[in-house]
């Protein structure tokens, strides 16, 4: 079994300039790892040749790529994780993510079942304790295949489907998921912040004192801050 694969979801045949920057950086930094494009059955991926990529692809039904809601259904469905039987971990890398260095194997070695950029509240930034769960964003997220597959199958013994965003299921950020909390090993938000930043990037960077492994939605949250670290074209 291989340690980890980089999974890049695609749903259209053109990339905007920011997505192109994201893809090129992914290939440059993480190119030594197996890279798999997840795409609709009908999508023509020949455009990837212009990026010097001959894609390794796993296809799913087009219905899973029509909206955010349908994508959430895919990532909370056992069929998604069953598509990666030869990997211990998968790194979901949506094309609004950006990675700064390849310490992916070191993050795998930490043994978390799921980790993504933490959504921090004021009490986190103020150093106050809280028992409320932290949402770890799924856009750039490292997932251990077997534990997530097991969790979904157990969850489906009690409920037909997950109705919220997929990352809330794996973060136990919705009440329905809390009884299943014992099934996954999650990080403390401070460790997750070293993995990825999303909201409040300037404050998060000051807390860290260094760049994380990567970031998500950098063009949405304070793009002015990110200009010093991320080329714009």
- The mean per-residue pLDDT over the stretch 167-195 comes to 94
What structural domains does the chain harbor?
Answer: 2-226 (3.90.550)
Q: Is the pLDDT of residue 129 over 90?
A: no
Indicate if the pLDDT at residue 123 is higher than 60.
no
Q: In which band, very low, low, confident or very high, does the pLDDT at 122 lie, cut at 50, 70 and 90?
A: low
Strand partners for 90: 5, 143
Residue 62 and residue 40 in contact, taking contact as beta carbons nearer than 8 Å: yes
pTM, two decimals, is 0.94
Please tell me the distance from the alpha carbon of residue 169 to that of residue 21, in angstroms, as a whole number.
30
pLDDT of residue 48: 93
124 has a pLDDT exceeding 70: no
Residue 120 confidence (pLDDT): 83
Q: Is the pLDDT of residue 167 over 80?
A: yes
To the nearest whole number, what is the mean pLDDT of the chain? 93
Residue 225 has pLDDT above 90, yes or no: yes
**Average pLDDT in the 49-65 region?**
94
Closest CA to 152 of 229, 224, 75: 75
């Amino acid at each position: 079994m291989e340690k980890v694969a980089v999974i890049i979801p695609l749903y259209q045949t053109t990339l905007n300039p920011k997505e192109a920057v994201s893809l090129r950086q992914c290939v440059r930094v993480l190119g030594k790892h197996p890279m798999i494009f997840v795409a609709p059955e009908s999508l023509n991926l020949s455009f990837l040749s212009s990026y010097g990529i001959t894609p390794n692809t796993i296809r799913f039904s087009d219905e899973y790529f029509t909206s955010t809601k349908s994508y959430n259904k895919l990532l909370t469905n056992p069929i998604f994780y069953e598509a990666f039987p030869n990997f211990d971990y998968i790194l979901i890398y949506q094309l609004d993510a950006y990675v700064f260095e390849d310490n992916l194997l070191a993050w795998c070695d930490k043994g978390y079942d799921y980790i993504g950029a933490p959504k921090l509240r004021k009490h986190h930034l103020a150093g106050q304790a809280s028992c409320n769960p932290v949402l770890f964003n799924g856009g750039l997220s490292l997932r251990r295949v077997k534990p997530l597959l097991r969790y979904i199958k157990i969850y489906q013994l009690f409920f037909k489907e997950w109705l919220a965003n997929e990352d809330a299921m794996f973060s136990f950020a919705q009440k329905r998921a809390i009884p299943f909390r014992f099934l996954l090993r999650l990080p403390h938000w401070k460790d997750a912040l070293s993995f990825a930043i999303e909201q409040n990037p300037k404050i998060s960077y000051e807390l860290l004192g260094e760049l994380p492994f990567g970031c998500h939605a950098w063009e949405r949250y304070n793009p002015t801050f990110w200009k010093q670290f991320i080329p714009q074209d």
